Each structure stands twice: as C-alpha cells, then as structure tokens.
Amino acid sequence: MALLSLNIALLAILSNTPRTLALDNGVGRLPFLGYNTWNAYHCEINETVLRSTADNMVKLGLQDVGYQYINIDDCYSEKNRSADGNIVANATRFPSGMRNLTDYIHGLGFKAGIYSDSGWFTCQLFPGSFQNEARDARLFQEEWGFDLLKYDNCAVPFDEIIKEGIVGKYSRMAQAIADLAAETGKPPLLFSLCEWGREQPWLWARNFGQSWRTTDDIDSSWKALANLINRNSFITWASDFSGHNDMDILEVGNGDLTVDEAKSHFTAWALMKSPLLIGTDLSIISDEMLSVLKNEEIIAINQDPVVGTAITPFRWGFNPDWTFDPAHPAQFWSGQSQNGTVFMLINVLDEAADMHFNLTESPWIRAGRQYSVRDLWTHTDNGTAIRDFTAEAVPPHGVVALLMKDAGDEPEGTQPPCQRPEWCMDQNGTRIDNTNFPGF
C-alpha cells in the first residue's frame, strides 16, 4: 500500500507539471508505426540499407496498411563532433548526407526518425546530446529534415555535473524541441524516450514525450516476449492519447519465433497501444511473417482515433490475479474500441489449450445481452456469444483476438438468472447464490 500511495502522490504532482510546448500540436496522439534499423542491422547501417528498406516498405504493402516512419538508430555518425560542435554523419556510411536521405524517404511518403542520447555518448559511444540539446534538435529537424527523435539513456554524466534526476535529464531535450517548434512554427519532433523503464517513465514522461520505453531491450525468444507482456500488464493504464508505453521493437520475423508466437507478440503490442516498429530485414522476411505485420484489423485497434486506452487483464488464468510471473503473464484481456469490445486470449502453456471466459468478466460487456464475434486473425464472423465463450485448442504460445459487438438482448428465459452468481438477487430479496437453483 505504501508503494501504491507513493505512486499516486507522484502521479498527482506530475499531472500538475506544465507540459512542454512540444506536445501541444497533436504530434504522437496515436502510437507511431514504422521501421527501426537496430534489431536487424545494429551498427551495420548505411544509406543504401535505408533506401532499400524504405523501398521494401512500399513494395511489400506495409506503407499501405499504416506504417509511416523509417527510423535510423545508433552508429550513423562520426565518432567526434565537427570543429563547430555539430554531430557529423559518417562520411563512408552516408556519403550523400542526411538531408539527401530524408528527402528520399519523404519523397516516398514516409516520415524519418533519428537517434541520440541524453548523456555524453550514445550506447555505442558515438556523440550524445547532453549540453548540446538545442544545437542537436535544430540539426536533426531543420538541417537534416527528421521528424522523430528516439532518445536513449546511456553515458550518464557525473552527479556533480548533471545535477538532475531522470526527469530533468530528459526535460532538457524536450524543452529544446519545444523552443525550436515555437521559433519555427513547425510541428515539433516526435519525442520517443528510451529510458528502459527502470525509473518508471510511465509516471512522468508524458510531460515531455509521446512514448516511453517500459523495459530493457527485447530479444527474439518466447521467454523475452512473455516477460515483457507480464511487466507491461501492470501499467496498461498509462497508455492513452497523451502518450504510449513503448514495449520495444517488433521481433516478428527474427530469431526462432513461431508464427503463433509472432501473432501473440504483434497482438499484445498493438492492443496495448505500443508503437509498432518493424525490426526485421525486409529483403528476407517470409510471407507468413509479413502477413502478421499487415493485419489491418489488429492495426485498426492500435490506431483507433476514438479510444486511446489499452486493453487490460481481467483474469490472469494460469496464476492467481495480480501475480508477477515473467514466464506466465496474464492470459485473459479486454478493452474498448470504437467498434466494440476487444478481447485477447494468450495461451502461455507449452501445449494447446481450450480457453474459456464469461463475457461479463470484462467490464466493457453488458449483462443480459448477446454479442456478435469477429475473429481478428481468421478474419471471420463467428456467430453470436451468449454469456460465455470458449476458444478451442489455442496453440502453445498462441493468441486469439476477438472483437465483440452488442447484438441485442439475450434470448428470453436464458437461465440461470445470472451468469455470475455472487450476490445475484431476486426482487423479493432472495440471493440466488444461496439457493439450489438449477445450474449452480
């Protein structure tokens, strides 16, 4: 209770903190979709890779389903700043210059993202932006033409130099972005904070940026995915139109993930309203994995312009509710959308399993009503659910994603009188759960 009270108090304080001007123009209201170079290429990036990636995003139809950003991660610069203090693009990797590259990306209809760090250096020891925030914001947006900045957390200055906590450390660049936007009259850089979740950015980062990392880096294993889903299940409340929990780059198509695991990965990220950033070499991605990334019905929930909140667990399933278990996250989830109630069922077992729930376990379902069922992976309408639903033989580590819409009153006379018997009461004062009513 003490930790909960502390978090509530901190949230109340920060909610009254003036938000920077960088957030007042509608930038980043919805989670951003795009591509990031790190997982597929690490430091082996150059302008040819970026141009080819942008071309493939168009050719493979990813742009058509909503992916907008082509983002460059670490290692793009020279090791030292120029004599006048600017970051310099690596002459070997980017001989045509960054402006030439962003012009090409923009010419294809995309936006472009760049990377820097809140410390002395980036995580790969290239120049960071500490004490150069205003200079670098201007370079990235005005001179190089970028639209998004991913901002990392390595190479932290000594305390006697920085004299800031984590909030102040990130507010320096947030303010530089805001000042530049005020000066130029242009939309600000979309500011994506990469703080790794160790300082609870979901409590404070919405004052500065449009998304915030919630965990350490992902890897392409089911163990890693289950861990990230588990950790984010406790902070789903933080994602809405004012900012988004960033669960890190998508690993769909990387490593040894099965197609079923990839579907679970994509569904959880999308429905928890995380940014969706592809991290796969698109020149070798399989058709099956590509189809996962192009699920328009799942993407539509992520990009819902009416409902900005994430899905949340309503029952843990394998464990008692509220259990923190990196190997077995919550299994039964639901949330709102403009078109109905969304459900996500994740089979955390290593074998196929039936998954059953009562509809009114979700707070978004009305008692006494029936609901049409849309399967968001098979893209089929699957009849009507009355009171409960069973997904049969869900594959190991697999997922079921459903959209349920109110289809009117349930059939007259449906028994028992309450699907969930606790404190169900007749008008005469008889508690149904204390009787021998058939079915109880």
Which residues are catalytic, by number? 152, 217
Nearest to 370 by CA among 419, 334, 404, 407: 407
CB contact set of 238 (below 8 Å; sequence gap of 6+): 202, 203, 206, 245
Q: Which two tokens mark 399?
A: 């997922």
Calculate the CA dihedral of residues 341, 381, 291, 218 and round it to 10 degrees: 30
The residue assigned the tokens 């991913």 is: 150
SS3 content of the chain, % helix, strand, coil (to 5): 30, 20, 50
Residue 333 CA to residue 345 CA, distance in Å, equals 6
Angle between helices 47-59 and 98-107 (to 10 degrees): 0
The C-alpha torsion from 335 through 337 and 340 to 346, rounded to 10°, is -40
DSSP string, 322-381: T---TTS---EEEEEETTEEEEEEE--SSS-EEEEEEGGGSTTS-TTEEEEEEETTTTEE
What's the Cα-to-Cα distance from 1 to each of 4, 6, 175, 314, 424, rounded to whole Å?
5, 9, 35, 21, 31
Determine if residue 328 is left, alpha or beta; phi over 0 gives left, psi from -120 to 50 gives alpha, anything else beta: beta
Task: Give, as one character, the DSSP assignment of residue 410.
Answer: P
Kindly report whether the peptide bond that precedes residue 416 is cis, defined as omega within 30 degrees of 0: yes
